[in-house]
Amino acid sequence: MTAPDEPARPTIAQRLRDLPRQGRELFLRLARQHTGPGRLGAAVALGALLGTTPLFGLHMLMGAALGRLLRLNQVAILAGEQVSLPIFAPFLAFASVQTGHRMRYGAFLATTPTTFDLATASDFFADWLLGSLPVGAVLGAVLGVATAWVVRSVRRADAEGAARLGPRQRWTGRGRGHGLGFSLFLGTIRLLGRRGGYALLWLVLPYYVVFAPSARRASAAYLSRVLGPRGLGARWRDHWRHLGAFGRSMIDDMLLLAGRDDTLRYSSDGHDRIAAAYDEGRGVLLLSAHVGNRGLAGSRLNGMKVNVVAFENEAATIRRFLDRHSREDVPRVIEVSDGPAAAVSILSALKRGELVAILADRTRGEEVFTVPFLGRTADLPAGPFLVAVVSGAPTLVTFAPKLEPDLQHFYARPLPVAAHTPRAERRAAAEALARAYAQELEAFVRRWPYQWFNFYDYFGDSDPTLTDAGGAAPGTPDA
């Protein structure tokens, strides 16, 4: 008998090509270990403690070893160690050196030493190392408790949402945020400023990159439609850039709503169209989407009565936030539930000559129009477009891309809506309006692909988990 052929050993080139896949599998395996809220909080706390020490070059090795020894999530430790990033390191180093010097000598170190030689350097390092322990412990405790609280809150909200929903539900209308989170977030941004808030994203984004795989898959699927096929490294960079744009948009929206947007510049191509339509007295319907800076249009509608449509899960949170943090001209929030009440409220507001703003790019199990979008078909909620046709109010599509780090641009385009449409023709007219809206939306995302913020399976290939709170579409009125 002949011995069976041994499998061919992979070549060096094959092994090198396989390294990215093996690295990704290792990273994901480590990320999925020890993911209880308490253990994740402890891991972030340990990472922050290690990152505060002056043992540069050893942080990652120490984190991996201690994580394995203490059975903590090693990716979360790595995230905590990012406190040693250059933007934070000088402040932590200064606090650590001063604390260590005070612990050793009972007084703070002079900020301008007269000499700096080998002996002084070793003494300086000793101060830094000693002081980094209490400073890192305090910082780690704060970040660890915050991490455990956030993880526990998010999972509780997800579990409650899953218990309420059927298995075929695509999007719940409920995001991960809530009133306290909004308040803490805005308070932090007020303290640090807009650019400080942007810097904080470097600490927040790794969590979502690692622990929100459904959002990552949805981002990759969407970007592949706009940018074409991408390699593994490019896909991860794209997802990081995509989430970063979303985080910066949230910060900008918060500051706009709170009236603290003095560090941003604006350009506009369309506010005059909205004002002219508003002056007609027939009401104005603004259809936007989860793209760009969604709060920019409303922040510039001075003197107009504005209504914002939101799902019932988010309406109370939005209302509390607006009442607490906004300027005096707070928009009225119209809640969308499963009945026709929202459509009646919207039509009533338009009849009074008021302005109604709707994010019309998401569905929640209601009637839909299927329209061409990004080379495929997508479902849009029928409600907003039927409201436009039934009311006959001037209707505009509005988007606000960020053109530069400090420059926001707003534009509005009129959509074809007749002042009166016979009942028998309303559904066809509404579907044509949905197609026109989809064309405007596709033009936006092709020009600014990273400013699309639907982090779920938009085309219905799988059951996603949404990571963003959002606006709503009203129920379908009688057509």
Whether residue 277 lies inside any domain: the answer is: yes
Q: Are residues 59 and 175 in the same domain?
A: no
pLDDT value of position 315: 47
Domain count, the chain: 2
Domain extent, residue 344, equals: 170-479
pLDDT category at 262 given cuts 50, 70, 90 is: low
DSSP letter at 471 equals: B
Residue at 132: amino acid letter? S
Q: Are residues 296 and 423 in the same domain?
A: yes
Beta strand 407-414 pairing with 395-399: antiparallel
By mean pLDDT, which of 162-166, 299-303, 328-332, 353-357 is the weakest? 162-166
Q: Are residues 100 and 182 in the same domain?
A: no
Q: Are residues 271 and 204 in the same domain?
A: yes
Q: Are residues 186 and 308 in the same domain?
A: yes
pLDDT value of position 106: 85
Greatest Cα pair distance in the chain = 94
Q: Are residues 175 and 125 in the same domain?
A: no
Q: Are residues 426 and 306 in the same domain?
A: yes
pLDDT value of position 39: 87
The listed range with the strongest mean pLDDT (244-258, 262-276, 417-431) is 417-431
pTM across the whole model: 0.62
Burial 179-202 (b: 16+ CB within 10 A, else e): eebbeebbeebbeeebeebbebbe
pLDDT value of position 379: 92
pLDDT value of position 180: 46
Q: Are residues 74 and 178 in the same domain?
A: no
pLDDT category at 168 given cuts 50, 70, 90 is: very low
- With a CB cutoff of 8 Å and minimum separation 6, the contacts of 289 are 359, 360, 361, 399, 441, 444
Distance of CA 272 to the CA centre of its chain: 30
Q: Are residues 280 and 324 in the same domain?
A: yes
* pLDDT higher than 80, residue 126: yes
Q: Are residues 89 and 176 in the same domain?
A: no
Residue 428 exposure: Cα atoms within 13 Å on the Cβ side: 5
The listed range with the strongest mean pLDDT (18-27, 97-106, 187-196, 393-402) is 393-402
Given a contact cutoff of 8 angstroms between Cβ atoms, the answer to whether 188 and 258 are in contact is no
Element containing residue 266 per DSSP (H, E): strand 265-269
DSSP letter at 62 equals: H
Element containing residue 398 per DSSP (H, E): strand 395-399
Whole-number average pLDDT of the chain: 79
- Count CB atoms within 10 A of the CB of residue 74: 22
